[in-house]
Amino acid sequence: MFTIGDFARHGRVSVRMLRHYDATGLLRPAHVDPASNYRYYTAAQLARLNRIIALKDLGFTLQQVRDIVDEKVGVEELHGMLRLRRAELETAAAAAEARLVQVEARLRAIESEGRMPTNDVVIKNVPAVRVAELTATTASFDPEDIGPVIGPLYDELFRCLGAAGITPTGPGIAYYEDAPEGGGRITVHAAVQVSAPLRDGTFRILDLPSLDQAATVVHRGSMDAVLPTAQALARWIDSNGYQPSGYPREVTLECPENRDDWVTELQAPVTQNVPHV
């Protein structure tokens, strides 16, 4: 038998926790010395302890844990419950990582205010281009809403193009517009340049109109961290006598496997301010 201290060490729990489990009837000692009241446990009780800890980590209350372990939940069922919890934790970790990226982007936006050299921005005409696209609607233009949508859209678009025997002939072009239903919702267009007849169906092929004037700048790095570049471009537009006339397009110039090495041109449609007389 193990003393309560030894059993706690083998079970990777605290002695205090074992005493609490004893008091609640969740895990009684195998033997209590009547003279000293010392608690003793057996190695076989580690199995029950492992189930208790696993179920607690799944979010069950102690009462629920007792009900489950007393009914002798099978190993396979417990494995399934743990796999579910693992998936939940992975999702939470991914969400936390995405939030961290956005926080870092906000910090970089603050740190880079006013630092962009004026020659980084070019005003140019963007010609019309034929694209294949899929669309979806997001709750807002926030990166947290756009990011989870646009990646899967492109994956599905390239799958559809492959099935149709169509090979892209140019870069990906993501563009945005206010959704018809309003409320700040955004229609996301995941597009790529193609040379193929116009069509509707599972995906559309259409001619994306030209932009007479676009303020353009190159962003290097993941689009999750585009905020400082986009805000610097907005400040340039405001301070150089222009006003925006739509959401910027995002033209993917290079997209290697490492997202930090991506190269993307932002193309913000603009009009020149008319001087007040």
Question: What share of the chain has pLDDT > 70, as a percent?
Answer: 92
Q: What is the pLDDT of residue 105?
A: 67
User: Which residues, in sequence order, are bridge partners of residue 252?
Assistant: 264
How far apart are alpha carbons 161 and 163 in whole angstroms?
A: 5
Q: Looking up tokens 């603050």, which residue turns up?
A: 110
Could you tell me which of 31, 32, 33, 27 has the C-alpha nearest to residue 47? 27
Going by pLDDT thresholds of 50, 70 and 90, the confidence category of residue 114 is low
User: Strand pairing of 204-208 and 211-220?
Assistant: unpaired
Going by pLDDT thresholds of 50, 70 and 90, the confidence category of residue 110 is low
Q: What is the pLDDT of residue 106?
A: 65
Among the residue ranges 36-40, 100-104, 111-115, 196-200, the one predicted with the least confidence is 111-115
- pLDDT at position 119 over 80: no
- Token pair, residue 165, equals 């025997």
- pLDDT at position 204 over 60: yes
Q: Give the CA dihedral 176, 180, 183, 186, nearest 10 degrees.
A: -20
Q: What is the mean pLDDT of residues 201-225?
A: 93
Q: What is the pLDDT of residue 62?
A: 86
φ/ψ of 32, rounded to 5, equals -125, 120
Going by pLDDT thresholds of 50, 70 and 90, the confidence category of residue 69 is confident
Q: What is the pLDDT of residue 98?
A: 73
Q: What is the pLDDT of residue 178?
A: 94
**Most confident range, picked from 58-62, 189-193, 238-242, 257-261:** 189-193
Q: What is the DSSP string of 248-264?
A: PEEEEEE--SSGGG-EE
Going by pLDDT thresholds of 50, 70 and 90, the confidence category of residue 115 is low
pLDDT digits (tens, 9 = 90+) for 78-109: 778 778 878 888 888 877 777 777 677 667 66
235 or 155: which carries more pLDDT confidence? 155
Q: What is the mean pLDDT of residues 248-254?
A: 95
pLDDT digits (tens, 9 = 90+) for 9-49: 998 889 999 999 999 999 999 999 999 999 999 999 998 89
Look up residue 167 and give its DSSP letter: -
Question: Alpha-carbon Rg of the chain, whole angstroms?
Answer: 29
pTM over 0.85: no
Q: What is the pLDDT of residue 123?
A: 94
Q: What is the mean pLDDT of residues 214-235?
A: 88
